Structure 1
């Protein structure tokens, strides 16, 4: 579409995909392509194309390029028109594969933050901050320029953390917060006889407990680049030894979860309750209304 209509500017989740931000592909399930438009309405205009109306859309060029067999994404100033000018901003051995106009990273995040639930938008914000393509101040500037309630974006901005290493961890982090648990510390390091051990999430409670939550992706058991050619049995053995070292370092409880449990929510929430992870607020499921005498309704 970009090649056929080079003047169209991609926006929303379409711009996020072009900018190589991480998010759940469930957000693409209806196949909608979002475009920035200076006027009109925000309804579907043709088939799976939908406008996001903005009078003066902040535009940048998303440049996809290849170095050897590795693909990369860069953001180029829209003032750089020719490919030659853009090439001067890239590494010398870069081969440009395509250039597409998109809304700025800040505007893209604001549009996505207003459209999608907190737990799904978290990965977008985390990955943008992790890649260093946007600042919190730039996102706030976009919010200030809009005549909209940007409360959902401000909440995302408050909790977004680039220390989440991938979209799965961001999703898990978002569920933890959305369910009312205390904000965990991310990528905490414990010392062990074999070197430092870094964990995904940790809580240090007021009563002296140390609770660790590890988010496990299936890749750690089957992807050769992550298993370092170890067998599944060896990977499992190493994980058990890792847990032993963590307990020696003072960890009192270790919770393991995966994407399926996080997506279903209840399995993860049950594990967090069973481990007595601190809450930031009372959980609605456990609240009961009482009358003036204290009797439960």
Structure 2
């Protein structure tokens, strides 16, 4: 039964593939301790963990995947989730999505794991309550998982946006609003949606756009436009955003987020509010817990 990052890969959750750089396969074990047992195989101690099966099958000429919870015995073809004409290709036992997320949340950094939580919630394969139920059964501090649950947001549309969002939070900046829509009458669409936005107490509107390289080179995203035309369209978009009341526009790419310093410098130069030590976003308490 696969667990940890191996289960996350089988669920096709989003995360940075450098988490596989140790080339370790994780399996769940009901006794013993979490240790490397042979070569690149590592055991994850999990006493009676909730499990499920990920089944790939062919139906009507198409290859499909279905998640079958709590199916530890018996042929997958008996499950009501599969059509009668399903031809099973393979079936893999894994720890449940909730248990997988808890294990990964305790094992990997916040910025690397939040994309898993975002994608799992976005796809509806797990709920926050199910993750909390797993935490209640753990005999260890689940603080990192609680932090992930507090900040996770399925409005992040892909792993890159989640990584950027998590890094912004981890660097101590105020949590941005996601996928905000501006009314822009001058634009052809009439509205413009942005990745991240901050509305500050002094009336500024700061927008951050996360730029993936695909938007310049992937034909499916550029609509066969050249790089020069894509850049021209970006500038027009920025003009429309400023007409809609945006005061500052920040653009960052994946490399800048990964290096952190370029992202942090751009946020500081734009005077993005900090969540720490900022009087508008933070309140102090005395020893009795009273808010000042």
SS of the equivalent of 2:237 reads helix
Q: 1-side partners of 2:218 and 2:78: how far apart?
A: 39
Q: 2-side partners of 1:180 and 1:212: how far apart?
A: 17
Structure 1: runs of 5+ lacking an equivalent: 1-8, 284-297
Q: 2-side partners of 1:264 and 1:72: how far apart?
A: 38
2:68 equivalent to 1:76: yes
Matched-pair contact (CA < 8 Å) for 2:51–2:72: no
Cα displacement (A) at 1:85: 2.4
Q: 2-side partners of 1:227 and 1:40: how far apart?
A: 53
**Alignment partner for residue 270 of structure 1, among 247, 265, 268?**
265
Summarize the Cα distance change of 1:67–1:176 in structure 2 as closer, same or farther, 3 Å threshold. Answer: farther
Cα displacement (A) at 1:98: 2.2
Aligned to 1:212: 207
Q: 1-side partners of 2:207 and 2:23: how far apart?
A: 38
Q: 1-side partners of 2:240 and 2:98: how far apart?
A: 42
Any idea what the Cα deviations from partners look like across 1:56-81, whole Å, max 9, x if unmatched?
01110012346789865421131573
2:143 equivalent to 1:151: yes
2:232 equivalent to 1:240: no
Any idea what the Cα deviations from partners look like across 1:182-223, whole Å, max 9, x if unmatched?
000000011223222111000000000000000000001111
Aligned to 2:188: 194
SS of the equivalent of 1:279 reads coil
Aligned to 2:123: 131
Q: 2-side partners of 1:165 and 1:188: how far apart?
A: 13
Aligned to 1:47: 39
Matched-pair contact (CA < 8 Å) for 2:77–2:86: no
Summarize the Cα distance change of 1:238–1:72 in structure 2 as closer, same or farther, 3 Å threshold. Answer: farther
2:248 equivalent to 1:250: no
Aligned to 1:231: 226
> 5 Å matches for 1:40-119?
40-65=32-57, 72-77=64-69, 78=71, 81-86=74-79, 88-90=80-82, 96-119=88-111
Summarize the Cα distance change of 1:139–1:95 in structure 2 as closer, same or farther, 3 Å threshold. Answer: same
**Alignment partner for residue 28 of structure 1, among 6, 11, 20?**
20
Summarize the Cα distance change of 1:59–1:269 in structure 2 as closer, same or farther, 3 Å threshold. Answer: same
Moved more, 241-250 or 58-67: 58-67
Matched-pair contact (CA < 8 Å) for 1:203–1:210: yes
How many residues align? The count is 274
Moved more, 45-54 or 233-242: 233-242
Summarize the Cα distance change of 1:276–1:230 in structure 2 as closer, same or farther, 3 Å threshold. Answer: same
Q: 1-side partners of 2:226 and 2:58: how far apart?
A: 33
Q: 2-side partners of 1:70 and 1:164: how far apart?
A: 29
Matched-pair contact (CA < 8 Å) for 2:77–2:88: no
